[in-house]
Amino acid sequence: MNLFSSWKKDVPASLVVFFVALPLCLGIALASGAPLFSGVIAGIIGGIVVGAVSKSPIGVSGPAAGLTAIVLTAITDLGGFEIFLTAVVLAGVLQIIMGILRAGIIGYYFPSSVIKGMLCAIGIIIFFKQIPLVLGMSGDLESDHFTMGDFHEKISFSVVIISIISLIILLVWDEVLAKKSTIFKLVPGPLIAVIVGIILYVTFADFGELALTQAQLVNVPIPEDFNSFISNFTLPDFSGLGNRAVYITAITIAIVASLETLLCVEATDKLDPLKRQTPTNRELIAQGVGNTLSGLIGGLPLTQVIVRSSANVMSGGVNKLSTILHGLLLLISVILIPTILNLIPLAVLASVLLVIGYKLANPKRFVEMWKLGKEQFIPFIVTVIAIVVFDLLVGIIAGLLVGIVVLLLKSYTNSHQMLIKEYMGEKNLFHMNLAEEVTFVNRGSIVKELDALPKNSYLELDFRRTRILDYDILEYLDEFTVKAKNNNIHIKLISERGKVDNPQSFREFFGHKVFKMAH
């Protein structure tokens, strides 16, 4: 697909992604204990550089909330931001190597239930984190001194008005106007909400009690001249190459950033209306190039991120032009119009994220997963709860482990089929059909079934459909032959190699080193 083939959809989507990305870049930098401009640098590189190198049509990269704890700790432990940047550069190089070695296949081993759980959990987190901003709350809401009695004192009436009007604009624009006219499709609702939000802010400024505080507005650094703009960029301190902790930090960032990227790729591809597949190895290389450059000029580590990617999809983005343009908009805005950006109420941006969060965690998704059965729902809901309660990485690992357990339990019960046949007027002929793959996981269910056989029975073990037979199963069957003799149980082995009555050794019959059945 040509880069500009869908520009009518990509240009409006890039504006939405820009308005979503800007506060996230600043907020993540603040939470990471890094200079605010470092988050903007990562956003610019994630849009322009990674967007150009990557083959992900709708994925958007930038500083990730999942890395904030690692970055905050590393900056302190390594003794400064400049040395930390060296670790970011090394992490980027490692990601490039991982891509060349084709490590991107790791992403394909995560079940869709875990990916969907991750999307819903992120939606829930996004939604609830915006509530203080849309209410204009001030102060520490988690403080021991905070009580419900002074709840109303922390709410800003003017911010609530801006939030309500913004939500009305977003919902009406998306659900009504955009469906009735092409003109409304070309102009993104969030842009109108931002314009209206600025007008309301300026209007309220004339009324003392309604005026918004600086903390309720976007806060972008304002350069006085070219030199002050350049001063926002920071070079890495390569003297840190002699520090072992720098390499440990680099490896940690490379692994976590790569995992988050690969999971985001899976999730974004599922959101893509055209269901295109992103080359994961190329994506790792693109992320590596982005992180290397980001570290070299003073930016935070970056990954492909689901919030911006989902905003891109839900705003109609089709091709990576929207990704590249959002990065250009970040660059242009901090150079040319930082003063105007600082007039935008955070409540407007929070309203945009409220809508995105709700779409990601739509209650219908939970009903859909429930209807798919417990094998899908259990890993899904575990992932959601663990991410919300703990963090992204813990939640993904928990969901994956539960998914593996569910798979093992399913495999445990699908190893065989026991049939009871009439024989000599009595139900003492048992026929067991073994599955195509019988491994140590299935041993428990087979042991339980055979141990329950009554004395003086006739057992047929049918291996004709079996393609893989684990040594552990053969070993147990040899042990069972001893018990069978003591209980007068006649065994008949049936396979494509022939039939044997009361085999002396299953291992010798199949070959004790043969795990794949020959056909």
3-state secondary structure of 70: helix
| 334 alpha-carbon distance from chain centroid | 29
The pLDDT of residue 342 is 86
Q: Is the pLDDT of residue 141 over 50?
A: no
Average pLDDT over residues 437-441: 78
Which top CATH class is 414-510? alpha beta
**Per-residue tokens: 154:** 């922390």
Taking alpha carbons only, the member of 265, 353, 358 closest to residue 309 is 265
The pLDDT of residue 151 is 52
Rounded Cα distance, 240 and 86, in Å:
7
Mean pLDDT rounded to a whole number for the chain: 84
Comparing 392 with 268, which gets the higher pLDDT? 268
Tell me which range, 51-60, 208-217, 263-272, is most confidently predicted by mean pLDDT: 51-60
Q: Which of 219-228, 276-285, 446-455 shows the lowest per-residue confidence on average (mean pLDDT)?
A: 219-228
Taking alpha carbons only, the member of 437, 429, 485 closest to residue 461 is 429
Comparing 385 with 228, which gets the higher pLDDT? 385
pLDDT tens sequence across 51-86:
999 999 999 999 987 787 788 889 999 989 999 999
Q: Is the pLDDT of residue 370 over 80?
A: yes
| E strand intervals along 317-408 | none
Average pLDDT over residues 486-497: 89
Comparing 400 with 246, which gets the higher pLDDT? 246
DSSP string, 411-459: HHHTSEEEEEEEETTEEEEEEEEE-SEE-GGGHHHHHHHHHTPPTT-EE
pLDDT tens sequence across 233-259:
999 999 989 999 999 999 989 988 998
Q: Identify whether the C-beta of residue 62 lies closer than 8 Å to the C-beta of residue 25.
A: yes
Q: Identify whether the C-beta of residue 322 lies closer than 8 Å to the C-beta of residue 328.
A: no
pLDDT tens sequence across 358-369:
888 889 999 999
CB neighbourhood size of 57 (10 A) = 24
Taking alpha carbons only, the member of 190, 220, 234 closest to residue 333 is 220
pLDDT > 70: percent of the chain: 91
Comparing 418 with 197, which gets the higher pLDDT? 197
Amino acid occupying residue 252: T
Q: Radius of gyration over alpha carbons of the chain, in Å?
A: 30
Domains of the chain, by residue range, sit at 7-139+152-361, 364-410, 414-510
pLDDT tens sequence across 86-100:
999 999 999 999 999
Q: Is the pLDDT of residue 519 over 50?
A: no
Q: Is the pLDDT of residue 382 over 90?
A: yes
Element (DSSP H or E) covering residue 460: strand 458-462
The pLDDT of residue 128 is 86
**Per-residue tokens: 304:** 């492909």
pLDDT tens sequence across 152-181:
557 888 999 999 999 999 888 877 887 777
Element (DSSP H or E) covering residue 491: strand 490-495
Q: Identify whether the C-beta of residue 32 lies closer than 8 Å to the C-beta of residue 69.
A: no
Rounded Cα distance, 57 and 355, in Å:
23
Eight-state DSSP code of residue 303:
E
Comparing 417 with 119, which gets the higher pLDDT? 119
Rounded Cα distance, 77 and 240, in Å:
12
CA-to-CA separations, 207 to 183, 201, 211, 212, 217, in angstroms, rounded: 35, 10, 6, 10, 17
Q: Identify whether the C-beta of residue 38 lies closer than 8 Å to the C-beta of residue 299.
A: yes
Average pLDDT over residues 299-328: 92
Comparing 479 with 428, which gets the higher pLDDT? 479
Average pLDDT over residues 299-320: 90
Rounded Cα distance, 516 and 519, in Å:
9
Q: Is the pLDDT of residue 149 over 60?
A: no
Cut 0.75: pTM above it: no
Confidence of residue 422 (pLDDT cuts 50, 70, 90): low
Rounded Cα distance, 459 and 108, in Å:
42
CA atoms within 13 A on the CB side of 298: 13
The pLDDT of residue 292 is 98
DSSP string, 230-293: HTT-----GGGGG-HHHHHHHHHHHHHHHHHHHHHHHHHHHH-TT-----HHHHHHHHHHHHHH
Average pLDDT over residues 127-141: 75
